[in-house]
Structure 1
Amino acid sequence: MTAKIYIVGMGDDGLDGLTGHAKSKVRRAEVIVGSTPLLQRVPTDHPAERIVCDGGMQELELCVESLADRPTVMLAGGDPLFYGIARFLTDRIGKNRFEIIPHVSSMQLAFARVKESWDDAFLTNLAVQPLDRVVDVVRAAERVGMFTTEEISPSVVAESLLDRRIDYFNAYVCENLGTPNETITAGDLASIRGQEFSPLNVMVLVRRTGAADLPSGPAKRRLFGNPDDYFLQSRPKRGLLTPCEVRCIAMAELEIQSNSVVWDVGAGSGALAIEAAAIAREGVVYAIEMDVEDYNLMIENAQQFNVPSLIPVHGQAPEAWAELPDPDAVFVGGSGRMVPELVAGAISRLKDGRIVVNVSSPDNLVAVQAVLAEQGFVSDVRMINISRGLQQLDRVRFEALNPSFLVIGYRESAS
């Protein structure tokens, strides 16, 4: 049976920082493999044969395949499975050949130093991820941990974020973690910009409480189905904006024409109303919203998208639509108990058009269907489950959005 190779994670404090189990494997090793800096942390009087491997993953794979069947330790920095060598080697050679003994990663140390949880943080490595893609994810994140590079330093990251008006994070640059030269620099992004840091650093970003996401400000916009981060959103209510995939289906089912009169009841920060106004440029879209913060965000979003046919209406339905002209299409979004009542009131004013209702609870789904049936409307239902791919470390994971129901109502004569 071929002897296992022990991949041992090591910090800058060398053998002193290892667990008893890890130390015992190093003491008993007849062969120790690692980069020059890692091998230098092993006492010179250790009798094991040392194999220097500074040439990257491919050289490391060849080295492993050439090893004799002797007790062997392969040194790695921090946690070998966290942007380390272990995943590559186990994928290429097989898991049965190795046993992994992790050390605390520098990412863990960084979050510990700034006293922030990292269980919900976006973690990335700028050595393998394009900065532009990372910035788009950072825009909507609560916490971020990133390994920077000499070319893409914390200063460059700060500059890139500020260029996109993303200035609502506190920043920490954690240098030389676990060594006597350890330094933590804290500040806002403007203060980090222009500073120089050690190449061995982890940058941590923490969103300031209550900060709203800023839109990404694209040069080209779609007629509808624009990404969610193109719109200003109230941070405490993030996720209440109708997701772009749901918006696409809703817009198709509303059958909006260039001269349509549209009501968006419970418009929030205005994503659907704005896109409806882009289609109904010769008509008018009334976006009804009672929350003053969302109403103001809607106005800002409408200015960004240049949709003159959009008319924001600040007020609570049904009173807010009392003086409005009858609609050709109605969209109702919300999760409260008032939704069925609002649907009943809206369809009493609806012409020969369609109503689309976005609800998240089965109770509201059943109640809305009942209201439509009472008024002689045909109803179709779509249950929508969307998962979006998110680049996490060097792999894609899928993040599920909250499932929702679209109830589409129309008079049978208008089908």
Structure 2
Amino acid sequence: MSQTPQKIAVIGIGDDGLDAVSPSVRQRILEAELVLGSDRALKLLPEGRQAEQQVLSGDLDELASQLESVGGRRAVVLIFGDPMFYGLARYVTEKIGKDRFEVAPHVSSMQLAFARVMESWDEAYLTNLANHPLDKVVERIRTAQKAGLFTSPEQPPNAVAQALLDKGIDYFHAYVCENLGARDERVTRGSLEEIAAQSFAPLNVMILVRQADAPDRPRDAIGRRLFGNPDEAFLQSKPKQGLATSAEVRALALAQMDIAPGSIVWDIGAGSGSVSVEAAQLARDGAAYAVEMDPEDHGLIKQNADRFGVTNLMAILGKAPEALADLPDPDAVFVAGGGREVARICSAAYERLRPGGRLVVNLIAINNLAELYEQMGAASHDCRVMMVNIAEGADQLGRLSFESLKPSFLLSVIKP
């Protein structure tokens, strides 16, 4: 009959070592046949002990194998702070099984840090930059009252402070608590500007406390809408200002294009790229190709893509339909059809359109519309036209009136 292996004790300690643990925990450590921990933890053990010592692997898979090989020996794993609070125990108990371990926590360095700065932490936003992207953490901090961060060598306190300042988040007092519990412990308080100009020991916790009554600094509204962003959110070349597809027409066109997350989208005659930028946001796992023959507008497409943070938008400098030859077949196509070539461009795009795909054309001239409707109607039984007439409310001497925008037409066709 096989004997049930003894549980591995995962024990939290501080820089004061065994002096600060309870008598029962101290006895468990001293009676262990195998002690595992970092070099720093193993150096805190009393001299002259006969138990085997192993340095824990930094690779989590190797570490799991290391613990599984303990066998029936009385084993102890030494971890600084609370092993269950962003600590090793969370990983190994899930990987190997909770029945193989018992945990004896120590005061977490996060608890110590909040105690040192005399702040409560029950409602603070807490995270570890070793496994959470800094840009995501910054957005969470934006609306927090307090935040506690385990920093990392790649994202030290000065980098965190600078990232906050770069986003206009300047309304926090900052504390950096270094080497907590050790003889060289140090707590630095300062503004984010002051913290950004300093360097700190690698073992630190960063605490941020919002200044009294400081309101949130909202992030730029650009890109918060998937589509229908205001026209002024897009950079446009000055002589052509106002010629971009308006927000209202753009929203209707994108709805007609029926873009899925994995769609391939063409925007032909893209101008400054307002349609292709929003198409790229909708096709987050696909791609949008903005075809534009004007070099200045081609440059603006790239700037607007950066402005909205879309990385799946490719700006193509060239004239349609020739510039379409090397592009992947699309699921959806948008054409800004102001020129005499619109019928030829739409014919070439429709030919490449995948079955079930949609072609949407925005036109202003009614004679172009009639020609294109006849052409597309012959190609597909599912061809629709909308006239878009929009009036905006305006105040005229204290009275509400409406000013009509220039009408335009949307032709949409589904390829069988």
TM-score normalised per structure 1 = 0.55
Matched, 1:283 2:286: no
Partner of 1:186: 189
Tell me the alpha carbon deviations over residues 295-344 of structure 1, each in whole angstroms, 9 at most, x when there is no partner.
xxxxxxxxxxxxxx799xxxxxxxxxxx76599xxxxxxxxxxxxxxxxx
- Which segments of 5 or more consecutive residues in structure 1 lack a partner in the other structure? 227-279, 285-308, 312-322, 328-415
C-alpha separation between the residues in 2 aligned to 1:5 and 1:11?
A: 19
CA offset at residue 151 of structure 1?
2.2
Contact kept, 8 Å, 2:395 with 2:401, in 1: the verdict is no
Q: 1:180 to 1:324 in 2, by over 3 A?
A: farther
Matched, 1:91 2:94: yes
Matched, 1:206 2:209: yes
The structure whose Rg is larger is 2
C-alpha separation between the residues in 2 aligned to 1:324 and 1:310?
A: 6
Q: 1:223 to 1:141 in 2, by over 3 A?
A: same
Contact kept, 8 Å, 1:34 with 1:52, in 2: the verdict is yes
Contact kept, 8 Å, 1:36 with 1:54, in 2: the verdict is no
C-alpha separation between the residues in 2 aligned to 1:64 and 1:20?
A: 25
Partner of 2:10: 7
Partner of 1:161: 164
Describe the SS at the equivalent of 1:37: helix
Match of 1:57 among 60, 76, 79: 60
The residue type paired with residue 86 of structure 2 is Y
The residue type paired with residue 392 of structure 2 is G
Partner of 1:197: 200
Match of 1:128 among 105, 127, 131: 131
Provide the aligned C-alpha RMSD in A.
2.7
Matched, 1:24 2:133: no
CA offset at residue 147 of structure 1?
1.0
Tell me the alpha carbon deviations over residues 170-220 of structure 1, each in whole angstroms, 9 at most, x when there is no partner.
000000100010000001111111101001110000001110101111543
The residue type paired with residue 142 of structure 1 is Q
Q: 1:216 to 1:39 in 2, by over 3 A?
A: same
Q: 1:163 to 1:25 in 2, by over 3 A?
A: same
Describe the SS at the equivalent of 2:158: helix
Partner of 1:47: 50
CA offset at residue 223 of structure 1?
7.1
Identity percentage over the alignment?
49
Tell me the alpha carbon deviations over residues 240-297 of structure 1, each in whole angstroms, 9 at most, x when there is no partner.
xxxxxxxxxxxxxxxxxxxxxxxxxxxxxxxxxxxxxxxx98423xxxxxxxxxxxxx
C-alpha separation between the residues in 1 aligned to 2:395 and 2:110?
A: 47
The residue type paired with residue 110 of structure 2 is M
Q: 1:310 to 1:74 in 2, by over 3 A?
A: farther
CA offset at residue 38 of structure 1?
1.0
C-alpha separation between the residues in 1 aligned to 2:181 and 2:395?
A: 56
Partner of 2:368: none
Matches within 5 A, 1:11-410: 11-222=14-225, 282-284=391-393, 325=400
Contact kept, 8 Å, 1:143 with 1:206, in 2: the verdict is yes
Q: 4+ runs of 1 displaced by more than 4 Å? A: 223-226, 323-327
Contact kept, 8 Å, 1:57 with 1:85, in 2: the verdict is no
The residue type paired with residue 133 of structure 1 is K
Describe the SS at the equivalent of 1:283: strand
